[in-house]
Amino acid sequence: MQNIVVLISGRGSNMVAIAQACRAQRWGARVAAVIGSRAAVAGLASAAAEGITTESLAHQDYAFREAYEEALATRIDAHEPHWVVLAGFMRILTPAFVQRYLGRMVNIHPSLLPAFPGLSTHERALAAGVRVHGATVHFVTPSLDDGPIIAQAAVPVRAGDDASLLAARVLAAEHQLYPMAVRWLVEGRVRLAGERVELRASEAVATIDPARGLPGGADAALLWCP
């Protein structure tokens, strides 16, 4: 049984999606623990409701970033993780911490990277006038939102969208995308090889024509990047 440790700073809806998919699809993995960036993180209650061990660790309690990350790594390692999954964990991690889990730590970002790294992705996508937006699962590297891409989900940008409507459409796609990508990791279908991803998944790939939108008028399409 492979152990997954999830780090969160918010509602933890992607964490719940992964935990439920683990059980329902019988990956041979489990979410062993969820660690919040502070005690008041809403997603910790959701994790507890799923029967998952929860912990919290606030960076304000540590004088230096390195001290915080050492304490965080100690908490993570106590659960003997095969995978460390960032699900809305709002901390920029140092290169030393990333190196400790390199190839075993993944993140989801609410844009089609390399477009719109960082914050306010939905507002920026609307301001740029893009026709297609989405989410990206990638390996974590020292550069922010810049690791090798495992999988992406694309959603249409529709007339009348505001940031809230677009964010909700992207989040619904994330709840499909992230469990799929984590399952690929657990099953050995994907791995980090140097600076690129080796992917051996057989799932159908949807090709997006930006001029026409998504196939069949769908709300989302799952993509992968070898």
Per-residue model confidence as pLDDT tens digits over 172-224: 999 999 999 999 999 999 999 888 888 775 544 444 443 444 444 455 556 54
Counting residues of the chain whose pLDDT is more than 90, the rounded percentage is 80
Q: Is residue 32 within 8 Å of residue 81, measured between CB atoms?
A: yes
Q: CB 133: neighbour CB atoms within 10 A? A: 27
CA 60 to CA 72: how far, in whole Å?
Answer: 13
pLDDT grade for 104, boundaries at 50, 70 and 90: very high
The pLDDT of 125-138, averaged and rounded, is 96
The pLDDT of 150-166, averaged and rounded, is 94
Could you state, in order of their start, the residue ranges of all structural domains in the chain?
1-101, 107-226
- Catalytic residue numbers? 109
pLDDT digits 0-9 by tens, 32-65: 999 999 988 999 999 999 999 999 999 999 999 9
CATH match for 107-226 among 3.40.50.720, 3.40.50.620, 3.40.470.10, 3.40.50.170: 3.40.50.170
CA 35 to CA 32: how far, in whole Å?
Answer: 10
Q: Residue 201 has what pLDDT?
A: 54
CATH match for 1-101 among 1.10.1740.10, 3.40.50.170, 3.60.70.12, 3.40.50.10320: 3.40.50.170
Is there a common fold for 1-101 and 107-226?
yes
Q: Which residues pair with 108 in a beta bridge?
A: 137
Q: CB 212: neighbour CB atoms within 10 A? A: 9
Q: Residue 213 has what pLDDT?
A: 43
Counting residues of the chain whose pLDDT is more than 70, the rounded percentage is 88
Q: Give the three-class secondary structure for 64.
A: coil
Q: Between β-strands 83-87 and 105-109, what pairing exists: parallel, antiparallel or unpaired?
A: parallel
